[in-house]
């Protein structure tokens, strides 16, 4: 039974592997060419994304059967930890409390969290984790960020075998109960991929 869920996750993830040319912002951080203003924008936008994702996962956990509920609960807990690390990254970017309070988020960055509840089961976490690893490396090499300031990205870049296991069990439960349509997984995943691309394009927009 698990093999079918595993196969669906592998084929969906493989089909939705990001185009190396689709994200122009991450290479700029890797090479040290991203502006400090763009890095601050990333921190400020994530201050809106992280709590929105947490609320979505908590909502899904309350409504889901046991296996998916465990998966969503783990995701919600991870967002809480990420929020703590994000504070250090924002501080490293020079974001003050006043700036954070008055910042107006950009629509292009907030389309993804607005739809995360709908698309959660087919989210491509591996792509996000890979981006985070590259950003962390660039921040340390070219911007002088400390381990504390990079912890937000290190957290998402780290392997998460327990989360992978829970994701497989959640997908299998969806397949077994008929609440997850394999034919729809690629469509939903493609939408999520496009929203994520919109996020990076907006973060890296010209100042």
The span from the CA of 29 to the CA of 189, in Å, is 26
Architecture of domain 2-203: Up-down Bundle (1.20)
| pLDDT for the residue 179 | 80
SS3 203: helix
| pLDDT for the residue 95 | 97
pTM equals 0.88
Q: Which residues in the chain show pLDDT less than 50?
A: 1-2
* Largest separation between any pair of C-alpha atoms in the chain: 52
The domain ranges of the chain are: 2-203
The span from the CA of 69 to the CA of 107, in Å, is 29
Q: What angle do CA 201, 91, 148 make, to 5 degrees?
A: 95
Please name the residue ranges forming H helices in the chain.
Answer: 2-15, 25-31, 36-63, 66-92, 97-102, 107-119, 125-142, 147-157, 161-177, 182-203
| pLDDT for the residue 109 | 93
Of the candidates 15, 9, 10, 79, which has an alpha carbon nearest to the alpha carbon of residue 51?
79
The span from the CA of 115 to the CA of 195, in Å, is 9
| pLDDT for the residue 2 | 41
């Amino acid at each position: 039974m698990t093999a079918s869920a595993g196969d669906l996750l592998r084929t969906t993830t493989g089909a939705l592997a990001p185009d190396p040319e689709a994200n122009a912002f991450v290479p700029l951080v890797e090479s040290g060419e991203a502006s400090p203003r763009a890095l601050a924008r990333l921190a400020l936008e994530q201050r809106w994304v992280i709590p929105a994702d947490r609320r979505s996962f908590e909502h899904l956990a309350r409504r889901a059967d046991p296996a998916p509920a465990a998966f969503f609960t783990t995701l919600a807990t991870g967002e809480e930890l990420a929020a703590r690390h994000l504070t250090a990254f924002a501080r490293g970017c020079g974001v003050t409390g006043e700036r954070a309070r008055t910042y107006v988020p950009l629509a292009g960055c907030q389309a993804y969290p607005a739809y995360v509840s709908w698309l959660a089961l087919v989210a491509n976490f591996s792509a996000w984790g890979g981006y985070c690893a590259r950003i962390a490396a660039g921040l340390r090499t070219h911007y002088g960020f400390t381990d504390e300031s990079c912890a937000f990205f290190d957290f998402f870049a780290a392997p998460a075998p327990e989360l992978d296991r829970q994701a497989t069990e959640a997908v299998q439960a969806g397949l077994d109960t008929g609440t997850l349509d394999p034919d729809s997984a690629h469509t939903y995943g493609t939408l999520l991929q496009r929203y994520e691309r919109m996020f990076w394009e907006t973060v890296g927009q010209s100042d």
